[in-house]
Structure 1
Amino acid sequence: MYHVLLPVDIDEARARAQVEAVLDLPGASESVRVDVLHVFEEIDVPADDDGRAFIDELNRNLENLRELPQTVDSVVDELEDAGVETSVHSVTADPASAILEVAEDFDVDAIVIGARRRSPVGKVLFGSVTQAVILESDRPVTVAPA
């Protein structure tokens, strides 16, 4: 079974492109398993030592208070309709770091990440999260442009 991490944000076009990239994998409905991940960004404010503990606790609890974006449901529905096994996960952290950590923890075979289409000048750089994942990942990364 080929194991893919699919980090999904709130952009529907990127999510659709990511689903298409997964469904284009050989034998997707029979031999691909997808962990869909949404990362809630941490609250990161300067705090003294006493305040840092409060911010850390707040970040841990925020995940329970937030709802996953509609894009996560859309991705899961499309993949499951195509016969792809899925699981959904969320974390509160720095997005690039969380994607890389979850990929390692779940021992995925590949990451399929979305990226915005850019102007010719903008094509020099990917977005900061996409770029960090590409540069720092120890496993294959497929970029699905939206």
Structure 2
Amino acid sequence: MYHVLLPVDGDEDRLAKQLETLTTLPGDDEITVTVLYVHEEVDTMPDEAGKSIIDSVNKAIGELQGVPETVEQAVDEIEAAGMPVDVVETQGKPTDRIIEAAEELDVEAILIAGRRRTPVGKAVFGSVTQGVILQGERPVFVAG
């Protein structure tokens, strides 16, 4: 058996590409999958006493946001394909949390979907996919 990390966001098109790629991997009857959803943190200004309320704000945001429907959709389709699956929610910068989760879970590979951006868009907004490929130490499959 080998373990694949499947980070998802709210984009159904990217999820469809990831699931299509997942089901075409060799030995799909021997794959176990962890679906990962990362709640992005929010930066806050300190209050009058200089105390940051970032931890409580971020906890509340994660609880209020919930997870997108794509997480449940991923689980349903992976289970329908006969693969064991579990879900992990975390909070932080997506690139960092994906890499950390891959190491903590000791996965063999990360299956991520790319997003089409112009070079300027990548420079301004960054690219989670690019960050995971360049900073991580695990093999990365990019569904495109």
Q: TM-score, structure 2 length as denominator? A: 0.87
Which residue in the other structure is 1:87 paired with?
A: 86
Which residue in the other structure is 2:12 paired with?
A: 12
* Aligned-residue CA RMSD (Å): 2.2
Give the 3-state SS of the residue equivalent to 1:62 in structure 2: helix
Once the two structures are TM-superposed, the CA of residue 114 in structure 1 deviates from its matched residue by 0.8
Give the 3-state SS of the residue equivalent to 1:90 in structure 2: strand
Q: Gaps spanning 5+ residues in structure 2: where?
A: none
Sequence identity (%): 46
- Matches of 1:115 and 1:129 in 2, distance apart? 8
Is 1:144 the counterpart of 2:143? The answer is yes
- Matches of 2:54 and 2:83 in 1, distance apart? 38
* More divergent stretch after superposition (59-68 vs 99-108): 59-68
Question: CA contact under 8 A between 1:112 and 1:141: conserved in structure 2?
Answer: yes
Is 1:69 the counterpart of 2:72? The answer is no
Which residue in the other structure is 1:2 paired with?
A: 2
Q: Gaps spanning 5+ residues in structure 1: where?
A: none
Sort the Cα spacing of 1:56 and 1:50 in 2 relative to 1 into closer, same or farther, 3 A.
farther
Q: Give the letter for the 2:6 counterpart.
A: L
- Matches of 1:50 and 1:112 in 2, distance apart? 41
Q: How does 1:99-138 map to 2 (within 5 A)?
A: 99-117=98-116, 128-138=127-137
Q: TM-score, structure 1 length as denominator? A: 0.86
* More divergent stretch after superposition (42-51 vs 104-113): 42-51
Which residue in the other structure is 1:26 paired with?
A: 26
- Matches of 2:39 and 2:68 in 1, distance apart? 10
Once the two structures are TM-superposed, the CA of residue 89 in structure 1 deviates from its matched residue by 1.1
Question: CA contact under 8 A between 1:62 and 1:92: conserved in structure 2?
Answer: no
Give the 3-state SS of the residue equivalent to 1:83 in structure 2: coil
